Amino acid sequence: MSTLLRQSDSFHKICQYLVSFLLLLPLGTLQAGEAAVDPSDNGIDVLEDATLEVDSRSSETSAAAEEMAAHSPVREYAGPLANAVDDATGNAEPLQILGVEIAPGTSRRLSWSATELFEGVPVSTPVLVLNGVAPGPTVCLTAAVHGDELNGIEMVRRVFHDIEPSRLSGALIGVPIVNVQGFRRGSRYLPDRRDLNRYFPGNPNGSAAARIAYSLFNDVIANCDALVDLHTGSFERANLPQLRADLRNPDVVTLTHGFGAMVVLHSKPTVGTLRYAATMAGIPAVTVEAGGPSQLELAEVKHGVKGIETLLTTLGMTRRMRLWGDPEPVYYRSSWVRADNGGILLSDVSLGSSVRKGDLLGSITDPMNNARTELRSPYSGRIIGMARNQVVMPGFAAFHVGIETDEVTASEEEVEVAQKPAVGGYVDGMSE
Ligand SMILES: [Zn+2]
């Protein structure tokens, strides 16, 4: 119990740190009105892995999400993302977003609030906008769609502080904390325990989650030409910094190449995720996964920032920012190794370790009878995600083994099994 209290204390310190940074951002004049105070929940969600499946939407709501996505406006084809800056002609235009006009060469901090929230009081969250002096694409960064995933919040802050609108071609829009209500409670979920990242592109007449998703998607995301959604592993699991991307989409492939030397995992997006809805609406999107929840992990943050800044340089939006030299992304197929027994999980590998087929990954010891079982790798590959040491139940996904493959193979294999959309997203949802 004392450990839990300490974790909770440090989490609140981190929250205060982040909020104070956001309030200090010199990006504009509007203040975020943080009016509502959320009732705290009992905090059990970070302890219960099983809720992930329960929480996932039923097939009925998933069909509704597909229906909505099918009717969401598909953007006009504007040419390949890779050439967007070179192909742009004329002068940069003012950017219209959230009822505000942002002139070229300026930055603003705006405030977005989804209407009709739980208490009937809108809760607002900052939206950072940099409109460059020269024309180009609009790239959006979103973080903390899951409220306990902190690394992305800090990545957005660092990226926005590193860039001057006077040196930018195109525009950058950042939403550092999408799920404000979950963030305040240190929870992945919304207060009604729904996973916001299963409700995009949303519905103005649906559940609270669907309404928040709809508002974000139409008020903010619809302005983007490309989207990078920042996540971490979930439930005491951490991910090696990696991209999740649907490599069947050429503009998505452009995005993955732009990130430089970051591991790329081909993954067809789960229905209802922001990545899914954006791509369906013609906005190529990738998810960055880096580290685990409820902590600020500086190495992961720096890795993510370097990737994003390399992307902006590759797209021609900025000039030489921390460019990874001659990047060669690595594509992985992947498989989760699950615990057969319940007990105390202790790892013998670390994130990023290379493993051979049959190598010991970790062990699970039954605390009652001291029986010990070993978890061995079924493949040769690399550990791209893993659980922190903890007590687990049978079936718990413990180690995510990436299997190196090339880009073409990765996307072809997925096509074969792509007949049915991934619903519930348990495997992919270890994260995103
Ligand atoms: Zn997430």
Instruction: Kindly list the domain boundaries of the chain, sorted by start residue.
Output: 2-32+65-330, 333-415
* Distance between Cα 340 and ligand 1 center (Å): 25
State the pLDDT at residue 12: 54
Asked whether residue 135 carries a pLDDT value surpassing 60, the answer given is yes
Asked whether residue 44 carries a pLDDT value surpassing 50, the answer given is no
Residue 423: band (very low, low, confident or very high) from pLDDT cuts 50, 70, 90:
very low
Q: What is the mean pLDDT of the chain?
A: 79
Model pLDDT for residues 303-316, shown as the tens digit of each residue: 999 999 999 999 99
* Distance between Cα 182 and ligand 1 center (Å): 12
Structure tokens at 151: 């690394």
* Distance between Cα 150 and ligand 1 center (Å): 10
Asked whether residue 122 carries a pLDDT value surpassing 90, the answer given is no
* Distance between Cα 229 and ligand 1 center (Å): 9
* Distance between Cα 102 and ligand 1 center (Å): 30
| Size (the chain), residues | 432
* Distance between Cα 428 and ligand 1 center (Å): 10
* Distance between Cα 242 and ligand 1 center (Å): 13
State the pLDDT at residue 52: 33
* Distance between Cα 166 and ligand 1 center (Å): 33
- 323 exposed, middle or buried (CB, 10 Å; 0-12, 13-18, 19+)? middle
* Distance between Cα 149 and ligand 1 center (Å): 6
Asked if 274 contacts 197 with a C-beta cutoff of 8 angstroms, the reply is yes
Asked whether residue 18 carries a pLDDT value surpassing 80, the answer given is no
* Distance between Cα 153 and ligand 1 center (Å): 12
Residue 115: band (very low, low, confident or very high) from pLDDT cuts 50, 70, 90:
low
State the pLDDT at residue 431: 61
State the pLDDT at residue 87: 86
* Distance between Cα 335 and ligand 1 center (Å): 19
* Distance between Cα 59 and ligand 1 center (Å): 21
* Distance between Cα 296 and ligand 1 center (Å): 14
Residue 189: band (very low, low, confident or very high) from pLDDT cuts 50, 70, 90:
very high
* Distance between Cα 290 and ligand 1 center (Å): 10
Asked whether residue 57 carries a pLDDT value surpassing 80, the answer given is no
State the pLDDT at residue 404: 76
* Between residues 345 and 262, the one the model is more confident about: 345
* Distance between Cα 53 and ligand 1 center (Å): 14
| Distance of alpha carbon 398 from alpha carbon 349, whole angstroms | 11
Distances in Å between the Cα of 170 and the Cα atoms of 87, 138, 151, 212, 371 are 12, 6, 25, 27, 60
The crossing angle, in degrees rounded to 10, of helices 298-314 and 250-258 is 120
* Distance between Cα 111 and ligand 1 center (Å): 22
**Minimum mean pLDDT range among 12-26, 75-89, 97-111, 231-245:** 12-26
* Distance between Cα 143 and ligand 1 center (Å): 9
Nearest to 307 by CA among 299, 396, 77, 21: 299
Structure tokens at 355: 């493993």
Percent of the chain with pLDDT over 70: 72
Residue 293: band (very low, low, confident or very high) from pLDDT cuts 50, 70, 90:
very high
Asked whether residue 31 carries a pLDDT value surpassing 80, the answer given is no
Most confident of 167-176, 186-195, 237-246, 378-387: 167-176
* Distance between Cα 426 and ligand 1 center (Å): 12
Asked whether residue 174 carries a pLDDT value surpassing 60, the answer given is yes
State the pLDDT at residue 36: 26
Asked whether residue 409 carries a pLDDT value surpassing 50, the answer given is yes
Asked whether residue 88 carries a pLDDT value surpassing 80, the answer given is yes
Asked if 121 contacts 94 with a C-beta cutoff of 8 angstroms, the reply is no
Most confident of 79-93, 102-116, 136-150, 226-240: 136-150
Residue 188: band (very low, low, confident or very high) from pLDDT cuts 50, 70, 90:
very high
* Distance between Cα 10 and ligand 1 center (Å): 20
Asked whether residue 137 carries a pLDDT value surpassing 90, the answer given is yes
Asked whether residue 385 carries a pLDDT value surpassing 60, the answer given is yes
| Distance of alpha carbon 405 from alpha carbon 394, whole angstroms | 30
| Distance of alpha carbon 94 from alpha carbon 104, whole angstroms | 6
| Distance of alpha carbon 121 from alpha carbon 109, whole angstroms | 21
Asked whether residue 223 carries a pLDDT value surpassing 80, the answer given is yes
Query: Three-class SS of residue 196?
Result: helix
Percent of the chain with pLDDT over 90: 54
* Distance between Cα 275 and ligand 1 center (Å): 11
Asked whether residue 47 carries a pLDDT value surpassing 50, the answer given is no
* Distance between Cα 93 and ligand 1 center (Å): 33
**Minimum mean pLDDT range among 76-80, 129-133, 150-154, 400-404:** 76-80
Asked if 248 contacts 415 with a C-beta cutoff of 8 angstroms, the reply is yes
Asked whether residue 283 carries a pLDDT value surpassing 70, the answer given is yes
Residue 14: band (very low, low, confident or very high) from pLDDT cuts 50, 70, 90:
low
* Distance between Cα 272 and ligand 1 center (Å): 13
* Distance between Cα 173 and ligand 1 center (Å): 19
Asked if 379 contacts 335 with a C-beta cutoff of 8 angstroms, the reply is yes
* Distance between Cα 177 and ligand 1 center (Å): 12
State the pLDDT at residue 199: 95
**Minimum mean pLDDT range among 105-119, 315-329, 355-369, 402-416:** 402-416
* Distance between Cα 230 and ligand 1 center (Å): 7
The architecture in CATH of the region 333-415 reads Beta Barrel (2.40)
Asked if 143 contacts 176 with a C-beta cutoff of 8 angstroms, the reply is yes
DSSP string, 113-147: EESS-TTSS-EEEEEEEEE-SEEEEEEEEEE-SST
Asked if 72 contacts 280 with a C-beta cutoff of 8 angstroms, the reply is yes
Q: Is the pTM of this model over 0.85?
A: no
Q: Does domain 2-32+65-330 have CATH number 3.40.630.10?
A: yes
* Distance between Cα 183 and ligand 1 center (Å): 12
Asked whether residue 8 carries a pLDDT value surpassing 90, the answer given is no
Asked if 432 contacts 200 with a C-beta cutoff of 8 angstroms, the reply is no
Asked whether residue 176 carries a pLDDT value surpassing 90, the answer given is yes
* Distance between Cα 306 and ligand 1 center (Å): 20
State the pLDDT at residue 398: 95
DSSP one-letter code for 186: T
**Minimum mean pLDDT range among 41-50, 88-97, 224-233:** 41-50
